[in-house]
Structure 1
Amino acid sequence: MTARIGFIGLGIMGRPMALNLLAAGHELSVYARRTEALTPVTDAGARACDSPAGVAREADIVFTMLADTPDVAEVVLGTGGGTGGSTTGVSASDGGGDDRRARAVIAGIRPGSVVVDMSTISPAVTRQIAAELAPAGATMLDAPVSGGDIGARDGTLSIMVGGPAEAFAQLAPLFEILGRHVVHVGEHGAGQICKACNQIVVGQTIAGVGEALLLAEAAGVDGARVREALLGGFAGSRILEVHGQRMLDDNYTPGFKAALHQKDMRIVQETAHELGLGLPGAALVAQLLNTLVGRGDGGLDSAALHLAQRRLNAQGESS
């Protein structure tokens, strides 16, 4: 069955995901702020709309894939404008709220539609957005992903879904186009909590691999041989395989940018604060990422966290 789909956010992740939906034969309406982001998708057959509201009017299912919590709040509700800042609430930030809401998804959404946010954002704000969409007769699913740009391109993402089970079952065929491992985790916000857990594990594993290679180097042992040996044992992991090699090669061409991982760890820390949890390992990773991004390296792959570790041990030497 062909679905009428909208897609908002055509960056490094969103563009290949939208193209995969098109390639599967679905009708696609799209919106992006930059013409250069639209062109590859419209050239493949998508229809460009002039606003998120326009996308919602054309589609029964609206996907969003955006950078941060305020971006999703702005696009879906017309609130929370801009990027950065607090992820704990949604509110209009200037006097143009009526115009912004008129351009937002909520202004064009129709009863029975589903909004699927595949961004990584605040679980609390996710629940707020779902609550605001409900009176319009629309359902929301939060469905953040793991797998980077390669997984987006190859349709092999891991997708963690929160929201009503009925909506998840309805959209399962679309998720299967986009990902290889799709799990319904629970109600609204559960997908975002799962993604936060993912980023805790990924971040601390990157840090562990980086420290191991630092130790090998300091002791005069070949890091490549150490990595090879560890891959055959209980320490073996996809991160050791891929990011360990990046560290050895000093090659941090981005698949997932450090600045985005920094944002994700901010969400982890804010959520832990809301719940009264101490997560010292996650806090350490967040600080290393803060140091990396603060040095102007936020555009590098998050495996470049290893650079922050090297600088920490340089003790004043240039690095």
Structure 2
Amino acid sequence: MSTIAFIGLGIMGSPMAVHLQNAGHKVIGYNHTPDRTADLVAAGGTAADSAAEAIAAADVVAIMVPDSPDVTSVLTDEGGVFDTAAAGTLIIDFSSIRPDVTTTLAEQATDKGFRMIDAPVSGGEAGAKNAALSIMVGGTAEDFEAAKPILDAVGKTVVHVGPNGSGQTVKAANQLIVAANIQVLAEAIVFLEAYGVDTAAAVEVLGGGLAGSAVLNQKAQKMLDRSFDPGFRIDLHHKDLGIVTSAAREAGVVIPLGAVLAQLMASARANGDGGLDHSGLFRGVERLSGRTSE
């Protein structure tokens, strides 16, 4: 069992840290908002007063923060991982960030005697709570094997997809697919409602056919209920679509639907929906259709 410093105990990080503690690891958690450590402490883990305090006591550092600058800060700031951790420490970055940033940070980590993998996750809050996340891992085969017991404690589908940065590239593709599914599901439900169809019955039968998907299973009811408490915020999905559209341009790849999705996500934020679950794209379809149910 490992001693794990878990940095970032938000909607996803908190249940992940609890699963690791329950699996027998010793987890020391840190979050900018101290009350987010409550669930970990209740599970027998420890709350640190600073990231440096957590990192200094650990042989594994897990990171789950919102964006590239946040990961960079955790690693490179004074009192951060590069400044505080013991040589040989394994760094597992569960965050979803730019692949090029990940690659640069992994090179720096190696130069400083650390091991690092990028291990972004998919599955949202439900996947985190149920330890059923899909985890796409970039790094060396040796570091992947070293991290596997930790990854298995929080994920159901854990796959090594290539060298450092590959996990983030696969996650960007994941976010493109998820956004497209959410958008077309929202459009379908607004369409069904316009015709007075029993939408609950419609969603049930659609879910049993080729239109069925994890997105339909997890997000349709939120749309029907107009309940958009965040499991994964529009703000974060907006960031992720920025990553994939930028990376596609750099690779010379055309993603026309991805570009439209990025604009629709940006519109949702501009209309004040950034803090909502990404299923809140439904509200944008309603606005465009003149059917706002607010």
Aligned residue identity for 1:244? A
Q: Using the alignment, how far apart are the partners of 1:223 and 1:279 within structure 2?
A: 31
CA distance in 1, matches of 2:195, 2:137: 45
1:112 aligns with 2:88: yes
Q: Distance in 2 between matches of 1:132 and 1:218?
A: 55
- The one-letter code sitting in structure 1 at the alignment partner of 2:137 is V
1:57 aligns with 2:56: yes
Q: What SS does structure 2 have at the residue aligned with 1:59?
A: coil
Q: How does 1:1-319 map to 2 (within 5 A)?
A: 2-78=1-77, 102-314=78-290
Q: What is the CA–CA distance in structure 1 between the aligned matches of 2:122 and 2:36, rounded to whole Å?
A: 22
Residue identity matched to 2:101: V
Q: Distance in 2 between matches of 1:37 and 1:189?
A: 29
Q: Which runs of 5+ in 2 are unaligned?
A: none
1:36-56 CA distances to partner (integer Å, 9 max, x unpaired)? Answer: 123332344333444333333
Name the SS of the counterpart of 2:29 in structure 1: strand
Q: 1:248 to 1:38 in 2, by over 3 A?
A: closer
Task: Give the conservation status (yes or no) of the 8 Å contact 2:61–2:90.
Answer: yes
Question: TM-score if structure 1 supplies the norm length?
Answer: 0.87
Q: Bigger shift: 209-218 or 15-24?
A: 209-218
Contact 2:97 2:240 in 1 (8 A): yes
Report if the CA contact (8 A) 2:286-2:293 is conserved.
Answer: no
Mapped partners of 1:240, 1:146: distance in 2: 15
Please, which runs of 5 or more residues in structure 1 have no aligned partner? Answer: 79-101
Three-state SS of the structure 2 residue aligned to 1:103 is coil
Letter in 2 for 1:74: S
Instruction: Name the amino acid aligned to 1:273.
Output: R
Distance 2:58 2:231 in 1: 30
Question: Cα distance, 1:224 vs. partner?
Answer: 2.8
1:54-110 alpha-carbon deviations (Å, 9 max, x no partner): 3332111100000111110111112xxxxxxxxxxxxxxxxxxxxxxx211110122
How many residues are aligned here? 294
Residue number in structure 2 paired with 1:95: none
- Between the aligned partners of 2:47 and 2:222, the Cα distance in structure 1 is 38
The letter for the 2-side match of 1:19 is V
Q: Does the 8 A contact of 1:110 with 1:136 survive in 2? A: no
Structure 1 pair 171–234 and aligned structure 2 pair: CA distance change class (3 A): same
Counterpart residue identity of residue 185, structure 2: V
Q: Which amino acid is the alignment partner of residue 54 of structure 1?
A: E
Cα-Cα RMSD: 1.8
